[in-house]
């Protein structure tokens, strides 16, 4: 943070004042836009702005932190999950869409099966409703665990669980139903790779379109209504 | 959220921003848990309205998610970058809101920006230094600098607050900022 009073690079000495005013948001709309156009191409000016931002930022220490309401975190978790899924959606017909198309065919087949069943009461129509799967990704992007849910049952099946809690901590599974303000705890995970998690009717109803998270928590689980430790894995529930 | 496990070091926050740039949702939520209370406090201070501050905080984290990849390109420390994103979004909202409502009304609700003694007692060395340098300015000029930084006051707001013409205000503030810079670079 050296002073550049003599303005060694021969620029307009008021550039430094403009940079400070820009950081403070004191420039009028027109002047601000004009300054931003210059910032795009003038590295030295960018340096002045960054120096002023660093110089003034300790003033913000005076501001006390205030915990924001839980629904913002929930909305952002959904937003980030949707953004990750977005590139697949943009790439023409997605796998999910194809599966859905096939499912439509399956529904026609099921209807036929129901008709058949009327005449052949001994033949049971195959289940053709949706099932759900979520791939929970770990911090390095690897698959931490896969969760499967069949809405006819009340059990969420986890397989291939590969994340471990830090020493003296436990893993807790959370479900954030679509549009919900706060996550529901689905319980603590035992240290096994295959786990069947029993769901309450409320939790089961929230699985389709929901978001699953695994956090690390103190023994006995989170002392609060939501995760308190680091999120170790996260994934959105998709219909298959 | 929980105090025990929240990441707090600058290196941790920098690492989280770089992971967010890779599309890491888990890092995004950890970054949110570590910094949202501070950024929400800043939005609240500038906007003085809970609903607006909540709205802007959400917008701020969407920007962080989208622009994390460009974080390395600027020379800012991680907290400075995050606070800059939050301040800019909150002040932009404040300015749009002011176009819709009456300026004078908004001004009356602006709280005093002077640092409280409690806050300076636990402040970092950087915060102590800037507080000491602000104390070397005339009190109303130090107050004007903090009012611009923490309350998003414009030159017009400041000129009305101190009852001076806009150009006088600008000259005052530019001189004060130059003095502040000299004091901080000693």
Q: What are phi and psi of A185, to 5 degrees?
A: -80, 130
pLDDT band at A192 (very low <50, low <70, confident <90, very high): confident
Which of A25, A77, A212, A217 has the highest number of chain B CBs within 10 A, making it the mutation to test binding with B? A25
pLDDT band per the 50, 70, 90 thresholds, residue B45: very high
The reply to whether residue B5 touches residue A234, judged by beta carbons under 8 angstroms, is: no
Which pLDDT score, from 0 to 100, does residue B87 have? Answer: 97
- Residue A137 near residue B25 (C-beta atoms within 8 A): yes
* Cβ neighbours of B54 in A, within 8 Å: 68-69, 72
Residues in chain B: 186
Neighbours of A181 (CB within 10 A): 14
Q: How far is Cα A234 from Cα A189, in angstroms, rounded to an integer?
A: 15
Q: Please tell me the distance from the alpha carbon of residue A93 to that of residue A111, in angstroms, as a whole number.
A: 26
Question: Model-level pTM?
Answer: 0.63
Residue given tokens 């053709």 in the structure block:
A128
Q: Which two tokens stand for residue B26?
A: 């888990």
The single-letter DSSP state of residue B112 is P
What integer pLDDT is reported at residue B71 of this predicted model? 87
pLDDT at A124: 52
Q: Which backbone phi and psi does A213 adopt, to 5 degrees?
A: -135, 145
Interface confidence (ipTM) of the complex: 0.85
pLDDT at A73 exceeding the cut of 90? yes
Residues 6+ apart with CB under 8 A from B54: A68, A69, A72, B40
pLDDT digits (tens, 9 = 90+) for A84-109: 655 433 333 444 444 444 455 555 55
Q: Among B45, B58, B80, whose Cβ lies nearest the Cβ of A57?
A: B80
A171 strand-pairing partners: A189, A216
Answer yes or no: do B25 and A234 touch at CB < 8 A.
yes
Give start and end residues of each alpha helix (H) in chain B.
Answer: 10-21, 25-47, 50-67, 78-100, 103-108, 117-121, 125-136, 139-151, 155-162, 166-185
Angle of the B10-21 helix axis to the B50-67 helix axis, nearest 10: 70
Phi, psi of A148 (to 5 degrees): -125, 145
* A 30-89 near B (Cβ less than 8 A): 46-47, 50, 53-69, 72-73, 75-77, 79-81, 83-84
Q: Which residues have a Cβ under 8 Å from the Cβ of A146 and sit 6 or more positions away?
A: A133, A134, A135, A136, A158, A159, A160
Residue B99: the pLDDT is 66
Question: Quick check: B72 pLDDT over 50?
Answer: yes
Percentage with pLDDT > 90 across chain A: 23
Predicted pLDDT at A8: 44
Contact assignment for A79 to B27 by CB distance below 8 Å: no
Task: Report the range of poorest mean pLDDT among A158-167, B23-32, B127-136, B174-183.
Answer: A158-167
A73/B36 CB distance under 8 A: yes
Buried b / exposed e over B139-164, threshold 16 CB at 10 Å, is eebbbbbbbbbbbbbbbebbbbbeee
pLDDT, tens digit, 9 for 90 and up, residues A150-190: 887 788 888 888 888 888 888 899 998 888 878 888 988 88
Closest CA to A76 of B45, B60, B90: B60
Considering A65-74, A174-183, A186-195, the range whose residues carry the highest mean pLDDT is: A65-74
- Residues B1, A226: C-beta atoms closer than 8 Å: yes
Nearest by CB to B150, from A28, A62, A137: name it.
Answer: A62
pLDDT value of residue B115: 45
Alpha helices per DSSP H over chain A? 14-24, 29-41, 43-56, 70-90, 95-119, 201-206
- CA–CA min distance A97, chain B (Å): 23
Q: Which of residues 8-47 of B touch A (CB under 8 A)?
A: 19, 22-30, 32-33, 36-38, 40-42, 44-45
Average pLDDT over residues B19-39: 94
The answer to whether B75 contacts A50, with C-beta atoms less than 8 Å apart, is yes
- What is the sign, positive or negative, of the torsion defined by CA atoms of B141, B145, B150, B152? positive
Highest mean pLDDT among A210-214, B51-55, B121-125: B51-55
How many residue contacts between A and B have a Cβ separation below 8 Å?
182
State the CB neighbour count (10 A cutoff) for residue B39: 29
Q: Which residue has the higher pLDDT, A217 or A142?
A: A217
| pLDDT at residue A127 in the model | 67
Q: Which of B177, B179, B184, B185 to mutate to test the interface with A (most CBs of A within 10 A)?
A: B177
Residue A152 DSSP one-character state:
T
Task: Look at B26 and A2 and tell me if their CB atoms are within 8 Å.
Answer: no
- Distance between CA atoms of A209 and A132, rounded to whole angstroms? 9
Q: Residues B95-140: pLDDT tens digits?
A: 888 766 544 444 444 444 444 444 444 567 888 899 999 999 999 9
If DSSP codes are grouped into helix, strand and coil, which group holds residue B68? helix
Strands A170-176 and A211-217, how do they pair?
antiparallel
Please tell me the distance from the alpha carbon of residue A77 to that of residue A139, in angstroms, as a whole number. 15
Chain A residues inside the 8 Å CB shell of B2: 222-224, 228-229
């Amino acid at each position: 943070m050296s002073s550049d009073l003599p303005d060694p690079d021969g620029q307009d000495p008021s550039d430094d004042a403009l940079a400070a005013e820009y950081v403070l948001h004191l420039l009028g709309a027109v002047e601000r836009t004009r300054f931003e156009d210059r910032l795009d191409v003038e590295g030295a000016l960018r340096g002045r702005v960054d120096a002023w931002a660093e110089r003034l930022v300790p003033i913000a220490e005076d501001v006390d932190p205030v915990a924001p309401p839980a629904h913002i975190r929930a909305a952002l978790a959904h937003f980030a999950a949707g953004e990750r899924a977005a590139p697949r959606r943009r790439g023409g017909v997605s796998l999910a869409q194809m599966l859905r198309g096939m499912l439509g065919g399956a529904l026609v087949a099921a209807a036929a099966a129901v008709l058949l069943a009327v005449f052949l009461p001994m033949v049971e129509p195959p289940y053709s409703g949706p099932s759900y799967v979520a791939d929970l990704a770990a911090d390095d992007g690897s698959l931490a665990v896969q969760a499967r849910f069949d809405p006819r049952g009340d059990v969420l099946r986890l397989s291939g669980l590969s994340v471990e809690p830090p020493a003296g901590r436990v893993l807790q599974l959370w479900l954030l139903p679509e549009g919900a303000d706060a996550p529901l705890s689905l319980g603590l995970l035992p240290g096994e790779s295959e786990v069947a998690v029993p769901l309450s009717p409320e939790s089961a109803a929230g699985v389709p379109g929901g978001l699953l998270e695994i956090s690390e928590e103190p023994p006995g689980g989170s002392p609060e209504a939501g995760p308190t430790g680091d999120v170790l894995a996260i994934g959105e529930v998709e219909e298959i | 959220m929980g105090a025990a496990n929240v990441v707090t070091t600058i290196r941790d926050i920098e690492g989280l921003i770089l992971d967010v740039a890779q599309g890491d949702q888990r890092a995004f939520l950890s970054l949110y848990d570590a910094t949202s209370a501070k950024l929400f406090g800043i939005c609240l201070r500038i906007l003085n309205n809970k609903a607006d501050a909540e709205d802007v905080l959400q917008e701020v984290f969407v920007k962080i998610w989208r622009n994390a990849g460009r974080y390395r390109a600027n020379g800012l420390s991680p907290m400075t970058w995050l606070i800059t994103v939050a301040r800019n979004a909150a002040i932009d909202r404040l300015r749009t809101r002011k176009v819709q409502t009456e300026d004078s009304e908004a001004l009356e609700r602006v709280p005093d920006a002077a640092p409280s003694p409690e806050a300076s007692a636990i402040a970092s060395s950087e915060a102590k230094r800037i507080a000491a340098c602000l104390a070397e300015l005339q009190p109303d000029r130090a107050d004007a600098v903090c009012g611009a930084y923490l309350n998003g006051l414009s030159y017009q707001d400041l000129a009305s607050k101190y009852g001076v013409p806009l150009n006088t205000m600008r000259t005052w503030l530019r001189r004060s900022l130059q003095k502040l810079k000299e004091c901080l670079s000693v």
